[in-house]
Amino acid sequence: MARIPYTIDTFPVTLDANAVNALPVAKIKEGWHVGSPGMGCFLDAPGFPSYYLQPVYDARGNTPRGAPGAVLRGTDGAYHVVDTLRGRDALLRSLYLPLPVDHPRVQAWIGEVARHMAHCYPDWTPGSVEALEGLASEKPACWWETADEKPSPETCPGDRSINRPHTAAHCQWCGI
């Protein structure tokens, strides 16, 4: 799912700016462009760097020879190289500032993972963690991936990245 790129003013609280800025600066050649953020991030923890990784494309939408596998924007305004193959997980982890486990974003993510598990494996139960059952029964929502707080129905922007505005019937972003 494509996401809106962050700006320097809205640099994610879950990214270590110094560590991102210390990565090699990517050379984006003429004719290349940087795609929407979000690479291999399905069910990753809230604000994990995978949500912010951006692919590099040529005019035909292919990955150009010699281009970085993915880039991350630093607070210096530059795109930095993230190798998506070897050692990707360790590298992303080194850029990550996890939220506390009792943070609302983390709790919403746990509910989403529980719901996903229950959907894929109907016989699976959260076991002794009874709170998961309550979380998993809430409606699907994905605000926690990149937003700091769950929006109210009045303030919800909807899922702008896929052009789906908030509706009272069902909103994928806030889960109302």
Q: Using CB under 5 A as the criterion, which residues of the chain lie in contact with Zn ion when the complex forms?
A: 156, 166, 171, 173-174
Nearer to Zn ion, 92 or 171 (CB): 171
Nearer to Zn ion, 54 or 146 (CB): 146
Length of the chain: 176
User: Rounded to 5 degrees, what are φ and ψ at 90?
Assistant: -65, -40
| Minimum distance, C-beta of residue 162 to Zn ion, in the bound complex (Å) | 13
Closer to Zn ion by Cβ: residue 114 or 156: 156
CB of 172 to Zn ion, least distance (A): 8
Find the shortest distance in angstroms from Cβ 106 to Zn ion: 20
Q: Say how far apart CA 65 and CA 172 lie, in whole Å.
A: 37
CA 88 to chain CA centroid, nearest Å:
15
Q: How far is the CB of 11 from Zn ion (least distance, A)?
A: 24
Residue closer to Zn ion (CB basis): 142 or 171 = 171
Contact criterion met (CB below 8 Å) for 171 and 156:
yes
Query: What is d(CA 110, CA 89) in angstroms, rounded to the nearest whole number?
Result: 20
Minimal distance, residue 109 CB to Zn ion, in Å:
17
Distance CA 47, CA 53 (A): 11
Gap between the Cα atoms of 82 and 9, Å rounded = 22
Separation in Å, CA 66 to CA 15, 43, 52, 80, 87: 26, 30, 21, 14, 18
Please say which residue, 87 or 153, places its beta carbon nearer to Zn ion: 153
